[in-house]
Each structure stands twice: as C-alpha cells, then as structure tokens.
C-alpha cells in the first residue's frame, strides 16, 4: 500500500520585547541564571500579572503578517502541569479563545505555489530552562533551573496538517521565519531558542481523508533537523504500517547524534492540562483601530516582495528569493538599482562578488555605500578599469569604504592607453620578441595573439586588448 505523510507544525516564538509578558523583568539573553526574575514571574503568593502592551502589539503584527484573523476579544487560561521549569505549576496560555484564528502562508515548492493553512496564533508565557548535570536528563545526577526565561512572551503558531514532507516543512519554516523577521515580532534565533518547532506527523493510505495516529516530534534544533527528523519518522511509521502493525500516539525526541527519533512518553491529551480561565487577568479586548494601526505599519512582506522583485527588476526566482530572505542584501540591491539600471548585471555582482567579500571580511552589507558600488560598476562598464581591478577595488570598498575613483588615482589602477602610456610598453614587447614579429610578418596570426598577451601581462591586464592589437600592427608594419 502507498502512504501519504501528514504533518502539522507547532512553532514557538519569543517576541522581541525588552520586558516580560506580565512583569517588568528584562528579557536579555545570556544573563547570570535567575537574575532576571521577580515575584510575578516566579509565581510567588500575592503577585499579580499585568499585560505588556508591546508584547500584544508584536503578537498582533505577527498574526496579521500571517494572514490570521485577530480576534477583538480573546482570553487567557491556566494550563496546569507540574514540572520544575514552571514556577507556578501552571502556564498562562490561551485555549479556546486564542488571539487570532486561521491564517495561511503561501510558499514555493519546486517553483509551484502551495498554501499552508494555519489553525491559530496565540500568546502565552515562556517556561524556565533546566540545565542538566550531564548531556540529558537521563543519566544526570542533578538538574539546575534558570527562571530568566520564565515569563518571556511567547507566540504559538499552529499549522493545519497541510504539510506533506520533511522538505516542505523546512521550506515552510524558511518562509515563516522570513515573514516573522519582516514583521519585527521576533529575532527568530533558533540557536538562542527564540524560535522552536515541534511537529505532529502521521501516515495514512494515499487518497484517504482520515488522519492516522500521530507522533509528536520534539527537540529539533535547526530547520535541517526538522527535515531529517520528519523524514526519519515517516520512514519509521511506514515500516510499522507495512508490517501490519499500529503506530502508537507518543512523543519522540530527535536525537541529533544518532539521527533518529526516540520515544519519550505517551502523549497527554489536552484534558490532562485541566485548562481553566485565568482569574487574575481580564479578557484581552482589542479595539479595531489598534489592529488597523498595526496592520498599516507592517512593511511589505516577503511573498509580496519576492513577486515585486521579479516583476520590477526581471530577477529570476532564486535571485528574488535571496534578496527577500536576506533582507538587508535586498535593500542594498534596491538602493543600488535606484542609481544603476543594468539590473541583471547588478544582481550578478551583488549575489556574487559582493556577498563573497562580505563573508570574507565579516562585514555587514549595511556598511557598504550603494553609491560607491554603483560607481565601481559604471567604471567597469565604461572600460576605465578591467574585471580583476574591479574585484580588487570591491574588496577594498567593503573593507575600508574608500571610493573607487580615489583608489584608481592613488594606486594608478586605471586603464593604460594612448601614445604616452601604452606605446612604450608596445615598443618594449616588440623589442623583446623578434621571433614572434618575424612569424607575424610571415602571416602567422597566432603570433599577434601572443604579442597582445605580452602587452596584457606587462600592464597587469589594464590595457585594452583591441588597442594593444592596433598599436602593435601599426608599429610592426611601419618597420
Ligand atoms: Zn519578573
């Protein structure tokens, strides 16, 4: 039997606020453990939560950027579970009245457009962090807990089971990350845990409408790990089903070293969390003008930008994707394109040599002035410099920001031409290569190519081969 893979993702995103969701504690990453804490985020008796307006603004911005329908009224609930990373033994979250419902993201898979629907977007608070004495909780003598993270605003984004492969999940996450970065809601740093992804995956007979029993996969620390883990898990479930077995509903842990999923525990149903309304918070009521203002302040978002880059500059799909995902590189391209209309050539230089020198020097593209870059390309187009010189100058523009015109003057890198500069070199080549001259006079065209090559070598490639050829011929026939 043929099976199809059904995947839904749950993404947790730390919002980019300077203080926590319900108290004034700092959200700065990497501080000394338990230094960003207060009675509210530690859940001490008598403390009361207060909304952070900025967190709500960012959550609404992210939801709108994902085409999700922001609700004018939503509510907070307590999600009860006992684990040391949760100081109150419950998490303030949203259950049946989330911040936003529905939504979608349009992604490109193999040049075809796909819609991945969202079920909901809701706000909740982050838990603390356990630090085990050895690699994992298994085999550790003790664990330490750091509550610096507890109470940081977290956005949970739940997709519909619309994703059909590990690769598609990865492409979706790439696009999702890009949209969230543009919305300004989060820095989306997976390595610092500000973006995390869990997945539900099940198999069903191809063409069936029913969902199979799913496994939840956790602990995937990169988008690549998501792809690998889901492909592995799909293979594991297919083996079970093909052998006539049944998949059990469980939570698995992706083991990055062994490249396999390891079952952790059987999965709780939502009833196990005993959700009930948070009595310390009023329902969240958002004025429509508040939502409209945030919507109006959103920048052009990645799907729209990608489309516009193709139409406005004639870029191909991979260039448009690069200049969209790498937003600052895209901004640089557009700033340069406003001053230089050879777009194809510009795109080639930006994604090729410029990106190379940026990586090489560890500089950011924001440090490069578009005008100097355009000046360089213009000098090259006019033939004032050649390609090797252009590359050398570009590396220097990236490193020091010196203008190309100044470097050409200071270093004498301009084109060598005319009777004054080029002629003496031509005469030197003629004097040094009597055999080649003789061969040329006897009709061997290859000898001329050799002589031009000598001129180019002596000028470091800075002569125009056509002009060298012309001068050589004049000189040789006059003799
Ligand atoms: Zn606090």
pLDDT digits 0-9 by tens, 84-133: 999 999 999 999 999 999 999 999 888 788 999 999 999 999 999 999 99
Q: Of 411, 438, 462, which one is at a domain's C-terminal end? A: 411
Q: Which residues of the chain have pLDDT under 70?
A: 265-271, 478-479
Q: Is 46 left (phi over 0), alpha (psi -120 to 50) or beta?
A: left
| Structure confidence by residue, pLDDT tens digits, 187-214 | 999 888 899 999 999 999 998 989 899 9
Between the CA of 197 and the centroid of ligand 1 the distance, in Å, is 25
Q: Are residues 335 and 359 in the same domain?
A: yes
Q: Are residues 52 and 182 in the same domain?
A: yes
Q: Are residues 325 and 470 in the same domain?
A: no
The residue segments making up the domain with residue 149 are 3-293
Between CA 295 and CA 315 the distance in angstroms is 28
- Considering its fold, how many domains does the chain have in total? 3
Q: Of 260, 293, 326, which one is at a domain's C-terminal end? A: 293
Between the CA of 46 and the centroid of ligand 1 the distance, in Å, is 13
**Which pLDDT belongs to residue 266?**
61
Q: Are residues 206 and 352 in the same domain?
A: no
Between the CA of 77 and the centroid of ligand 1 the distance, in Å, is 19
Q: Are residues 77 and 210 in the same domain?
A: yes
Between the CA of 36 and the centroid of ligand 1 the distance, in Å, is 7
Between the CA of 88 and the centroid of ligand 1 the distance, in Å, is 12
Q: Is 267 left (phi over 0), alpha (psi -120 to 50) or beta?
A: beta
**Which pLDDT belongs to residue 128?**
94
Between the CA of 285 and the centroid of ligand 1 the distance, in Å, is 24
**Which pLDDT belongs to residue 270?**
62
Q: Are residues 431 and 358 in the same domain?
A: no
Q: Are residues 454 and 422 in the same domain?
A: yes
CATH number of the domain at 443, please. Answer: 1.10.10.410
Between the CA of 23 and the centroid of ligand 1 the distance, in Å, is 5
Between the CA of 358 and the centroid of ligand 1 the distance, in Å, is 40
Per-residue burial over 176-206, b if 16 or more Cβ lie within 10 Å, else e, is bbbbbbbbbbbebebeeebbbbbbbbbbbee
Between the CA of 367 and the centroid of ligand 1 the distance, in Å, is 37
Q: Are residues 403 and 431 in the same domain?
A: no
Q: Are residues 258 and 311 in the same domain?
A: no
**Which pLDDT belongs to residue 405?**
87
**Which pLDDT belongs to residue 161?**
96
Between the CA of 48 and the centroid of ligand 1 the distance, in Å, is 11
Between the CA of 35 and the centroid of ligand 1 the distance, in Å, is 10
| pTM for this predicted structure | 0.83
Q: Of 293, 321, 356, which one is at a domain's C-terminal end? A: 293
Q: Are residues 24 and 98 in the same domain?
A: yes
**Which pLDDT belongs to residue 271?**
65
**Which pLDDT belongs to residue 136?**
76
Q: Are residues 318 and 274 in the same domain?
A: no
Q: Are residues 400 and 442 in the same domain?
A: no
Between the CA of 124 and the centroid of ligand 1 the distance, in Å, is 15
**Which pLDDT belongs to residue 122?**
98
């Amino acid at each position: 039997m043929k099976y199809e893979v059904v995947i839904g993702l749950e993404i947790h995103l730390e919002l980019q606020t300077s203080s926590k969701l319900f108290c004034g504690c700092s959200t700065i990453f990497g501080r000394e453990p338990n230094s960003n804490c207060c009675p509210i985020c530690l859940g001490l008796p008598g403390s009361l939560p207060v909304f952070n307006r900025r967190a709500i603004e960012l959550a609404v911005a992210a939801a709108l950027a994902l085409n999700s329908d922001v609700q004018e009224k939503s509510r907070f609930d307590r999600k009860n579970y006992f684990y040391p990373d949760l100081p109150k033994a419950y998490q303030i979250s949203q259950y049946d009245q989330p911040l936003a419902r529905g939504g979608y993201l349009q992604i490109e898979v193999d040049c075809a457009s796909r819609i991945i629907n969202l079920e909901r977007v809701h706000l909740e608070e982050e838990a603390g962090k356990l630090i085990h004495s050895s690699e994992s909780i298994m085999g550790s003598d003790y664990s330490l807990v750091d509550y610096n993270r507890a109470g940081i605003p977290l956005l949970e984004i739940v997709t519909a089971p619309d994703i059909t492969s590990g690769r598609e999940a990865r492409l979706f996450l790439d696009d999702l990350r890009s949209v969230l970065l543009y919305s300004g809601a989060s820095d989306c740093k997976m390595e610092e845990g500000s973006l995390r992804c869990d997945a539900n995956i099940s198999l069903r007979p191809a063409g069936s409408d029913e969902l199979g029993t799913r496994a939840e996969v956790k602990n995937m620390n990169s988008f690549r790990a998501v792809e690998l883990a889901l492909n592995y898990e799909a293979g594991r479930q297919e083996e079970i089903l093909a052998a006539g077995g049944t998949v059990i509903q469980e939570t698995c842990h992706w083991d990055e070293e062994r490249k396999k999923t390891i079952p952790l525990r059987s999965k709780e149903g939502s009833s196990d969390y005993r959700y009930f309304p948070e009595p310390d918070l009023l329902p969240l009521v958002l004025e429509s003008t508040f939502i409209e203002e945030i919507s109006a302040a959103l920048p052009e978002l990645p799907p729209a930008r990608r489309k516009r880059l193709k139409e406005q500059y004639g870029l191909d799909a991979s260039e448009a994707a690069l200049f969209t995902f790498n937003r600052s590189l895209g901004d640089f391209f557009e700033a340069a394109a406003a001053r230089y209309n050879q777009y194809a050539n510009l795109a080639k230089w930006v994604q090729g040599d410029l990106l190379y020198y940026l990586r090489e020097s560890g500089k950011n593209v924001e440090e490069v002035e578009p005008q100097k870059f355009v000046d360089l390309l213009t000098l090259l187009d006019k033939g004032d410099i050649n390609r090797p010189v252009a590359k050398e100058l570009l590396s220097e523009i990236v490193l020091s920001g010196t203008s190309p015109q100044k470097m050409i003057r200071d270093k004498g890198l301009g084109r060598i031409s005319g009777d004054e500069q080029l002629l003496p070199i031509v005469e030197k080549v003629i004097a040094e290569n009597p055999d080649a001259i003789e061969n040329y006079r006897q009709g061997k065209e290859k000898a001329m190519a050799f002589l031009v090559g000598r001129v180019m070598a002596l000028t470091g490639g800075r002569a125009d081969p056509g002009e060298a050829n012309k001068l050589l011929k004049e000189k040789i026939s006059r003799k």
